[in-house]
Amino acid sequence: MPHPIESESYEILRRRVDTTGLGPLSRAVVERLVHTTADPTWAGDLLVDEQALAAGRQALADGAPVVADVRMVAVGITSRPAMVVTETTGGIEEFVRKTPVGAVWAIGQDVSIVTELVERCRSGEIRPALVIALPAGFVGAVEAKRAVRELGVPALTNRGERGGAALATAAVNALLYL
């Protein structure tokens, strides 16, 4: 049961942002990210796809691993452990070997991991169930997110430079807590 403050926050959010036209998964993710940031403009910046989110949610329900770019993303995912790319000596290579198919990738900080993931997807080495690519940055973030969208893999991204670990975490949690 949500805390009364959280419930009131969502009531306020829903008065400020109309998410009624979204599918249930898209609505849950958009509302969670807007709630996380207290910034209603995220509703118009996110590029959500109900089928992509459904693929990610199903993968999570089936026990798919979550691969996070940094520890800050991983520790925020409270209902299951996440593997952290930046904490291994093998980096992304290790996760390509361990989880070539079906993982949910949550990237909220490291643009270079998004870029590497895109290359690995293009080469056919990896087929994620869902890529959540929400790193912030003035250098390369917009281009990396665009590259993810152009891959044709299930993805959640946004249009601009904004992003961050809290958002990637919130997106995973929205799918886990439905």
pLDDT of 93 strictly over 80: yes
- Can you tell me the mean pLDDT for 37-66? 97
- Can you tell me the mean pLDDT for 42-69? 97
Mean pLDDT, the chain, whole residue set: 94
Q: What integer pLDDT is reported at residue 99 of this predicted model? A: 82
Q: What integer pLDDT is reported at residue 88 of this predicted model? A: 66
Convert the chain into a string of H (helix), E (strand) and C (coil).
CCCHHHHHHHHHHHHHCCCCCCCHHHHHHHHHHHHHHCCCCHHHHEECCHHHHHHHHHHHHCCCCEEECCHHHHHHCCCCCCEEHHHCCCHHHHHHHHCCECCEEEECCCHHHHHHHHHHHHCCCCECCEEEECCCCCCCHHHHHHHHHHHCCCEEEECCCCCCHHHHHHHHHHHHCC
pTM: 0.95
| pLDDT band at 103; cut points 50, 70, 90 | very high
Top pLDDT among 92 and 125 is at 125
63-72: pLDDT as tens digits? 999 999 999 9
117-155: pLDDT as tens digits? 999 999 999 999 999 999 999 999 999 999 999 999 999
> Structural domains in the chain?
47-176 (3.40.50.10230)
Q: What integer pLDDT is reported at residue 80 of this predicted model? A: 86
6-44: pLDDT as tens digits? 999 999 999 999 999 999 999 999 999 999 999 999 999
pLDDT of 89 strictly over 70: no
